[in-house]
Amino acid sequence: MQDPFKTLEIVSETFESDKRAFIYTGKTPTGARLVRWNGNKRIIFLGFAGADPIGRKRLLGTIQRYSIFKGHPIDGWVFFSAAFRQNSYRIIDEHKVLLVEIPEKKNRVTLLGTKNIPDGMLPVFINSFERSGLSTEYDFDGLISNSKRGMIKQKYLFQPSPSKKLHLFPTPGIVISIAVGF
């Protein structure tokens, strides 16, 4: 199993080398790290140990506990864990949270809630995971357009069912625009 704290350490080292980021703390391997991004956004990185999935109640308690950290108000949270329960996926829309899931016995990392992190931060995450030999999967909330030729056609790849309350990706739909030439 890939250790969430080891992954957190790798990500922290990558952010330290980026000129847009400043890390306030990071001396202990299992501690929280406060990252200032582009001089104005403060994001806290936290890891959870254990094989049990992390639920919504534990995440909400952590958000309350760390709403002010080292005297600074927090603008967003990044949680690292081996697994998250489905009820924790709802927290992505309620708070500015990024869930980093490192599944057991797999060389991949899943990022849920990428819309909640500041611009330019996602490539730093992807680069840090690639350097450690992990593939990255992430949700996407937005519109991809390539309108060089012709008209734009939109296609919904994921449309949630109105009868279900919980979904793997809490976004209302992923839209991809495809340029169609005539």
Question: Which pLDDT does position 175 carry in this prediction?
Answer: 45
Please report, for the chain, the start and end positions of each structural domain, with discontinuous segments joined by +: 4-138, 143-180
CA-CA distances (angstroms) from residue 116 to 113, 161, 162? 6, 23, 24
Question: Which pLDDT does position 26 carry in this prediction?
Answer: 54
- The least confident of 10-14, 101-105, 169-173 is 169-173
Compute the average pLDDT of residues 50-61: 90
Tens digits of per-residue pLDDT, 117-173? 888 888 888 888 888 888 888 886 555 555 455 444 444 444 443 433 333 444 444
CA-CA distances (angstroms) from residue 164 to 11, 85, 113, 141? 35, 16, 20, 20
Question: Which pLDDT does position 167 carry in this prediction?
Answer: 39
What tokens were used for 153? 């056609």
Question: Does domain 4-138 bear CATH number 3.40.1350?
Answer: yes
> Taking Cα atoms as reference points, which of 50, 51, 15, 11 lies closest to residue 29?
11
Task: List the beta strands (DSSP E) in the chain.
Answer: 21-23, 33-37, 41-47, 68-69, 72-73, 76-81, 97-101, 108-112, 135-138, 143-144, 151-158, 174-180
Alpha helices in 18-169 (DSSP H): 56-65, 91-94, 121-131
Question: Which pLDDT does position 169 carry in this prediction?
Answer: 45
Which is it for strands 143-144 and 135-138: parallel, antiparallel or unpaired? unpaired
The answer to whether residue 72 scores a pLDDT higher than 70 is yes
- Percentage of residues in the chain with pLDDT exceeding 70? 72
